Structures are given as C-alpha cells and as structure tokens.
Amino acid sequence: MPNSSHTLTIPSSTQHLREVRRFVEEHARAAGLSRPTVDEIKIAVDEACTNIIKHAYAGSDDQEVEVELTFSPDRLEVCLRDQGEPFDPSSYEEPDLVELTRRRRGGGLGVHIMRRCMDKVHYTCDDGYNEVCLTKYLNGNPAS
Amino acid sequence: MSTFSVSYRSTNGVQILDLHGELDAHTASDLEEAIQSCFEDGSVQLLVNGEELQYISSAGLGVFMAYVEEIREADGDIKIASLQPKVYNVFDLLGFPVLFDICDTEEKALHLFEEGNTKPSNEESS
C-alpha cells in the first residue's frame, strides 16, 4: 500500500461524529482493510473525537478538531489534534464495569476501547496543541 | 437529520425498545430519554432489541450502565437481544455479558423475563 494522507477538520460538536466515522470508513475501506479492522478503527477514532469534544473542549462547539489519516505499507496512523485542555494519560485508570454500574455512571470507557481496538495510543501536548495518535499495524494481508 | 431512533412495542408486560441507526455521543441522549420515559411510566422490564442498530460507541453503552441499577432495584431489568455481530463485539469488548443478559433472539430474552431472572446467572450477589 503506498503512503497516503487524508485530513478532515470538524467543528467541536458531537453532531459531526458520524461524518468522522464516514471519513475513516471510506478511506480505510479504499485502502483494502478488512471490515472488522475498519470497525475497530472507526470506533477508536469516534471515542478519541468524543473525548476531545466532551473533555478537552468541555462541550464548547465553536472549536475545531482535526483528524488526519496516514496510510503506510505496514500501518495506519490516525492523529487527532485540538487546542483544548490536555489529557493526562497517567491519570487514567482502567474502568471497573461493576463499580461504574453501581455508581450509576457510564463514563470512562472510551480510552479503554481505544486501547483495545488499536495497537498503540500516544498522547502529546506541545505549545497549546494536543495530539492523540492511534496506530494500527497492518500485519499480513489486510484485504483478506 | 437524526441518525438514531427508538420505537416501542410491548408484550406480556415487557416493554420492548427497538433501536434503529447509530448510537453515539450525539444520539445517546435519545436512548436516555427513552429509558427514562419507560421507567417513569412504570415499565421496569425493558427489552432492548438491537436488530436494526448499526453502530454503538461507549456513550451508548454508558446509558445502560447508568440506568440498570435503578431498574433492578425496582425489580426490573434491562435485557438486550438480537444484536448484529459488529455491535455485539463492542458490548463484549467492555465485558457487558457479565452484567447484562444479552440474548441472540428476542424470544430468549422474553423467556428470561418469564422465568423471573433479573441478572445474569453468573453474577455474584453483593
């Protein structure tokens, strides 16, 4: 697969999540990735985008989120960028489903999904810009 | 344009919610309103049919987690049925089968309600 890159910028509102999923699906399928792999990438990017909108921007819908897909021969990397509050991954704890249910809360599951569906999740923060990069290694023949 | 909707049926005292479309952080509030409305109307035996549900993210799953305890305390339950494999995979990824009855058919879920089961049998009581 040749190197290629595609970028989508959306306003920071959850009503654009569907557009992000379509964007990811369109390019990942065009690159020949299998349907289960596309589904995993799609939900991971949705969760990352949702976290930016809800937490980094605290629901403010007049900001922007940039989503960049980069296909290389051995991997797909999806980088999401924002200028909201940075996320500190060291503060993250794996969710306890039973405890969350007991406390009648449903949050905190997005990062777990991102980590389970992707091979690498990496956060950086530099000069007011936050970036989370999600990597999926394309072992074998992804089109199979 | 809404990408998610809920329609309602009932049978033998069980309120069935048919989910259609895509359930994400934008549309999760619609499911929340639907479950809240059923609960306020006194329906505590809720069966969620996901045959027409095309997508779910953690925001949608969070709605079930937020309401199930309250509904169980009222001697009811939320049972889930007929999920498409790609949607079931998300429930499974987060360990939902431990906390919820997830049946491959609506009939099986209705049968569990008839038997009076309110929690998956493998869950330990606290």
Q: Is residue B8 part of a domain?
A: yes
Q: Does the domain spanning A4-137 belong to CATH 3.30.565.10?
A: yes
As given in the structure block, the two tokens for residue B103 are 């049946």
> Is the Cβ pair B25, A112 closer than 8 Å?
no
> Which of A122, A119, A130 lies closest to A41 in space, CA to CA?
A119
Q: Is residue B53 part of a domain?
A: yes
With pLDDT > 90 as the criterion, what percentage of chain A qualifies? 76
- State residue B123's pLDDT score: 46
pLDDT of residue B124: 44
CB contact under 8 A, B62 and A106: yes
Closest Cβ opposite residue B65 in set A17, A105, A110: A105
Whether B108 is covered by a domain: the verdict is yes
Q: Is B32 near chain A, with CB under 8 Å?
A: no
What confidence score (pLDDT) does residue A102 get? 78
The residue of A39, A42, A61, A105 whose CB has the most chain B CBs within 10 angstroms, and thus the best one to mutate to test that interface, is: A39
pLDDT per 10-residue tile (average), chain B, 126 residues: 89 96 97 96 97 97 93 95 97 93 97 79 42
- Within 8 A of A15 by CB-CB distance, chain B residues are 26
CATH code of the domain in which B77 resides: 3.30.750.24
Complex ipTM: 0.90
Radius of gyration of chain B, Cα coordinates, nearest whole angstrom: 13
Half-sphere exposure of B80 (CA within 13 A, CB side): 25
Cβ contacts (< 8 Å) between A102 and chain B: which residues? 69
Quick one: how far is CA A49 from the chain centroid?
6
Give B92→chain A minimum CA distance, Å: 11
Structural domain for B73, as ranges: 4-115
User: Cβ of B65 and A43 within 8 Å?
Assistant: no
pLDDT at A3: 87
Residue B83, domain member (yes or no): yes
Question: In sequence order, which residues have a C-beta less than 8 Å from that of residue B44 and are 6 or more positions away?
Answer: B71, B74, B75, B76, B77
Count the domains in chain B: 1
Residue B121 located in a structural domain: no
B126, part of any domain:
no
The pLDDT value given to residue B1 = 56
Count CB pairs under 8 A between chains A and B. Answer: 84
In this structure, the strands spanning A129-137 and A75-82 are antiparallel
Cβ atoms of A128 and A117 closer than 8 Å: no
Q: How far is B28 from A40, CA to CA, in rounded Å? A: 20
* Residue B123 in domain: no
CA B118 to chain A, closest CA, distance in angstroms equals: 15
Would you say residue A100 has pLDDT above 90?
no
Minimum-distance CB partner of B70 among A13, A47, A104: A104
Evaluate whether residue B102 is within a structural domain. yes
pLDDT tens, residue by residue, A20-56? 999 999 999 999 999 999 999 999 999 999 999 999 9
